[in-house]
């Protein structure tokens, strides 16, 4: 129907100083008018914030431009606009001189309108700080209920204890403060977040205010022996056995608490028996499982089967970086008769849980999920015959073509193992890639472009400022300890995709064998089936090549710092300190790789790359990590740990699932060949799984357990007579 059609004529910046841009405001307004008249049932929309882009940093002028532009666009028929509601003024309350100057620009009424507004804009920029400060304090004169709501929505913790106490003194019982103004405020937060008008960092700040207010009231509630506040439901959450990563889980927990759910967080590396026992003991309405590394996927399957065996009848939620709807539907859900639902991120969690605890909505919602997942399984099964896996023999014959003749492998300046204890954080800081930091807070975009995003830019700048402030404090008070270790060894590749590592330059004694996997998917002519072993000179060439190994961390002290914040009911900084530790660990990996290339191995001694080029990986060589697509099998970390004696030298340990602890850690290999590149192994056949088991000294069953995310076949099924396997696509790509 025409009512469902929305036209966006595009809003562009005005007053840019380029004459061709002067009429952009008028063009949009007139386009809206023509669309509204010619197509009266259709709707129009526009990204309003774009129009004021020339005046970034001048909040009063931007607000005036948005307001005036919207005023005229709405009169012309604009049905909807995308704009930060906090960056709008009331049309009639804009200073007359500013409003006139802005209208001149928006409507292009004068040839000198841009110059006149620029001259006036400086006056308002100078006034902005003073006016903003006055406005910020204005709310302190409001009634206490409104002050608490404002503090929650804005995440202002400065006055929460005194305002909560004032509200308590005026209430009939302490619980009334929670059930009244505090929950009213959190309901506003929930509505804003659910509608996309509030971002995750703001929600976590709101949770900090709520927790501080509740903490102030708890002694009075206990003293009055009053009835406890009834939550909307109880959720037991845990990072599964063998996995130590919890930032995403913690964020989901905070968001659920903001929506009046009781969250029992069991922490990390939690065995299924403890999860089930706690869920039964606490009368949980929902169980949530989280994990980052690929072995956690199999642990989640095990948990689902245990829930079925124990006769549970509550929903199971699945989340984490390596999880997916497909894996949940195909591998986890069939093991448990109750609803099993993949939750993509924190913004979806509240809606999912609310549906699952609502007596009126639960049955219909569960039926819809079951139908959706059945369709996912059907489509997955339909792809089974579409993927052809070539034999391992053919894949090896189609290995990466490297011109070893005439190639002289660079000899490292330093052979053996080097350790770095307490690496200076100020030296690591410049190497931080901030884009993943924003992603961890569910602010999608690249740094620094995200600062100019009309929707997320303001919150991104606030989050970045908070991160810089906390990072300054971390460094000044020495909260975190960073350590690094690397080793450079003589090495050569074998025909079976393994790399021999030698004790010394004589190459007489094999110190260890590193076992890599090879792409096995059928490739078009001219496209190789790659393995990381291709990038080390084969032993048969007689060339003396080398390989590097490394492990770094910036996580020592992160858990302790987070716990200090949690004791102060400050989830925002508890999550922040772990997110920063992760960024510092990745930055240290980048820094150490640069030093290896230019200094210790020295094959790129003349490298001169800025930070942008480093982030784009414009250097020679690679540093793939076990658990990531090019080498997806995690137990290879154990060989790395033995060769470098990582646990003894720098204190990083491996869990039974080969997750690194502290969680803010990175490990991997250094390859120097200029043709080395990243790729994904993806699906492999039974013949390669069997070959890998033989190389590792495993049973096939054990190999299939560790290779499960990459198996392109059902372990219970057989092969075709020619050895090639007609198989389904891999359920989930490997990630570290």
pLDDT for position 131: 53
Please report the pLDDT score of residue 133 as a whole number: 56
Of 67, 61, 54, 53, the residue nearest 128 (C-alpha)? 61
pTM of this structure: 0.75
Question: 10 near 46, Cβ under 8 Å?
Answer: yes
CA distance 151 to 154: 5
Main-chain dihedrals φ then ψ at residue 560, nearest 5 degrees: -65, -45
DSSP state of 664: S
**Block residue for tokens 């089974």:** 384
Lowest mean pLDDT among 137-141, 603-607, 697-701: 137-141
CA distance 485 to 428: 15
HSE, CB side, 13 Å, CA atoms: give it for residue 582: 21
Q: What is the pLDDT of residue 723?
A: 41
Q: Is 526:398 a contact under the CB 8 Å cutoff?
A: no
Contact call for residues 103 and 110 (beta carbons, < 8 A): no
User: Which domains, and CATH codes, for the chain?
Assistant: 2-137 (3.20.20.20), 142-224 (1.10.1240.10), 233-382 (3.40.50.280), 394-670 (3.10.196.10)
Residues 112-129, mean pLDDT to the nearest whole number: 77
Ranking 97-111, 226-240, 497-511 by mean pLDDT, the lowest is 226-240
Q: What is the CA radius of gyration of the chain?
A: 29
3-class secondary structure per residue, 521-571: ECCCCCCCCCEHHHHCCEHHHCCCEEEEEEEEEEEECHHHHHHHHHHCCCH
Q: 3-class DSSP state for residue 420? A: strand
pLDDT at residue 16, rounded to an integer? 81
202 vs 486, residue with greater confidence: 486
| pLDDT band per the 50, 70, 90 thresholds, residue 225 | low
Distances from the Cα of 141 to the Cα of 145, 148, 178, 722, angstroms: 11, 12, 21, 82
Which of 289, 245, 252 has its CA nearest to residue 271? Answer: 289
Helix (H, G, I), strand (E, B) or coil at 298: helix
Phi, psi of 319 (to 5 degrees): -150, 165
Q: What is the pLDDT of residues 710-721, one digit of tens each?
A: 998 888 664 433
Residue-wise pLDDT tens digits, 498-557: 999 999 999 999 999 999 999 999 999 999 999 999 999 999 999 999 999 999 999 999
Percent of the chain at pLDDT above 90?
70
State yes or no: pLDDT of 128 exceeds 60: no
Q: What is the pLDDT of residue 731?
A: 31
- Residue 485: pLDDT over 90: yes
Residue 241, CB-side half-sphere exposure with 13 Å CA sphere: 13
**pLDDT tens sequence across 568-599:** 999 999 999 999 999 999 999 999 999 999 99
pLDDT digits (tens, 9 = 90+) for 44-98: 999 898 898 888 778 888 889 998 998 899 899 998 888 876 667 778 778 899 9
Phi-psi label, residue 423: left if phi above 0, alpha if psi -120 to 50, beta otherwise: beta
Q: What is the mean pLDDT of residues 89-112?
A: 88
pLDDT of residue 721: 31
Looking at mean pLDDT, say which of 216-230, 450-464, 466-480 comes out highest: 466-480
Asked if residue 662 has a cis previous peptide bond (ω within 30° of 0), the answer is: yes
Instruction: List, in order, residues 6 or more apart from 591 with CB less than 8 Å away.
Output: 427, 428, 431
Percent of the chain with pLDDT over 70: 94
Q: Flag the least confident range among 64-68, 658-662, 730-734.
A: 730-734
- DSSP letters spanning 165-234: HHHHHHSSSHHHHIIIIIHHHHHHHHHHHHTTSS-HHHHHHHHHHHHHHHHHHHHHHHHHTPPPPPPSEE
- Residue-wise pLDDT for 327-352, tens only, equals 999 999 999 999 999 998 887 888 89
What pLDDT score does 390 carry?
Answer: 96
In this predicted structure, what is the pLDDT of residue 332? 96
pLDDT in the model for residue 724: 44
pLDDT value of position 385 = 60
On the question of pLDDT at 165 being above 90, the answer is: yes
Distance CA 166, CA 433 (A): 45
Residue 89's pLDDT is 75
Is residue 286 helix, strand or coil? strand
What is the total residue count of the chain?
A: 736
Helix (H, G, I), strand (E, B) or coil at 237: strand
Structure token pair of residue 504: 């010394």
Active site positions, annotated: 243, 245, 296
Average pLDDT, the chain: 90
pLDDT (tens digit, 9 = 90+) per residue, 402-420?
999 999 999 999 999 999 9
């Amino acid at each position: 129907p025409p009512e469902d059609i929305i036209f966006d004529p595009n809003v562009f910046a005005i007053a840019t100083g380029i004459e061709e841009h002067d009429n952009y405001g008028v063009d949009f307004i007139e386009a809206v008018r023509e669309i509204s008249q010619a197509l009266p049932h259709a709707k129009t929309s526009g990204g309003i914030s774009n129009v004021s882009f020339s005046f970034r940093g001048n909040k009063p002028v931007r607000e005036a431009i948005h307001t005036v532009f919207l005023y005229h666009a709405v009169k012309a028929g604009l049905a909807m606009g995308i704009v930060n509601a906090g960056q709008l003024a009331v049309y009639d309350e804009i200073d007359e001189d500013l409003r006139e100057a802005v209208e001149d620009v928006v409507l292009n009424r004068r040839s000198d309108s841009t110059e006149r507004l620029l001259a006036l804009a400086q006056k308002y920029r100078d006034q902005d700080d003073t006016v903003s400060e006055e406005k910020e304090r204005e709310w302190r004169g409001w009634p206490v209920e409104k002050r608490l709501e404002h503090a929650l929505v804005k995440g202002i913790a400065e006055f929460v204890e005194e305002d909560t106490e004032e509200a308590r003194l005026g209430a009939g019982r302490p619980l009334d403060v929670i059930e009244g103004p505090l929950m009213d405020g959190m309901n506003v937060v929930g509505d804003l977040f659910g509608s996309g008008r509030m971002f995750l960092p703001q929600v976590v700040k709101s949770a900090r205010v709520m927790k501080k207010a509740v903490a102030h009231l708890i002694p009075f509630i206990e003293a009055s022996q009053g009835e406890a506040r009834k939550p909307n439901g109880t959720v037991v959450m845990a990072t599964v056995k063998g996995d130590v990563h919890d930032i995403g889980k913690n964020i989901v927990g905070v968001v659920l608490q903001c929506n009046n759910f009781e969250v029992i967080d069991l922490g990390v590396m939690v065995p299924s028996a403890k999860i089930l026992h706690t869920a039964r003991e606490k009368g949980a309405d929902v169980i949530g499982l989280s994990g980052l590394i690929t072995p956690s996927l199999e642990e989640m399957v095990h948990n689902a089967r245990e829930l079925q065996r124990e006769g549970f009848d509550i929903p199971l939620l699945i989340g984490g970086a390596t999880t997916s709807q497909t894996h949940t539907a195909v591998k986890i859900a069939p093991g448990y008769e109750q609803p099993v639902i993949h939750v993509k991120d924190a913004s979806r969690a509240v809606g999912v849980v609310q549906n699952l605890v609502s007596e009126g909505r639960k049955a219909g919602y569960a039926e819809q999920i079951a139908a959706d997942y059945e369709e996912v399984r059907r489509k997955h099964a339909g792809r089974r015959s579409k993927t052809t896996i070539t034999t391992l023999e053919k894949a090896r014959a189609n290995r990466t073509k490297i011109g070893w003749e005439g190639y002289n492998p660079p000899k490292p300046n330093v052979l053996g193992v080097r350790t770095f204890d307490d690496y200076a954080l100020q030296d690591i800081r410049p190497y931080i890639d901030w884009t993943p930091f924003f992603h961890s807070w569910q602010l999608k975009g690249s740094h620094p472009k995200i600062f100019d995003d009309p929707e997320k830019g303001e919150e991104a700048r606030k989050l970045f400022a908070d991160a810089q402030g906390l990072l300054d404090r971390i460094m000044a008070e020495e909260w975190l300890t960073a350590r690094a270790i690397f080793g450079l060894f003589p090495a050569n590749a074998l025909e079976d995709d393994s790399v021999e590592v030698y004790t010394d330059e004589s190459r007489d004694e094999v110190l260890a064998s590193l076992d890599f996997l090879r792409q096995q998917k059928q490739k078009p002519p001219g496209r190789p089936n790659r393995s990381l072993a291709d990038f080390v000179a084969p032993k048969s060439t007689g060339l003396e090549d080398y390989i590097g190994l490394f492990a770094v961390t910036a996580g020592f002290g992160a858990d302790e710092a987070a716990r200090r914040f949690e004791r102060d009911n400050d989830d925002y900084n508890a999550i922040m300190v772990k997110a920063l530790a992760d960024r510092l660990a990745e930055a240290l990996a980048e820094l150490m790789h640069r030093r290896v290339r230019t200094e210790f191995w020295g094959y790129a001694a003349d490298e001169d790359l800025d930070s942008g080029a480093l982030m784009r990986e414009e250097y020679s060589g690679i540093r793939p990590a076990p658990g990531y697509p090019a080498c997806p099998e995690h137990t290879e970390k154990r060989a790395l740990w033995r060769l470098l004696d990582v646990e003894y030298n720098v204190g990083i340990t491996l869990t039974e699932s080969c997750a690194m602890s502290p969680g803010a850690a990175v490990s991997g290999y250094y390859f120097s060949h200029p043709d080395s590149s990243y790729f994904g192994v993806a699906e492999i056949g039974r013949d390669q799984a069997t070959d890998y088991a033989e190389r590792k000294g495993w049973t096939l069953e054990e190999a299939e357990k560790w290779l499960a995310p990459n198996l392109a076949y059902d372990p219970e099924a057989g092969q075709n007579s020619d050895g090639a396997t007609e198989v389904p696509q891999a359920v989930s790509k490997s990630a570290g």
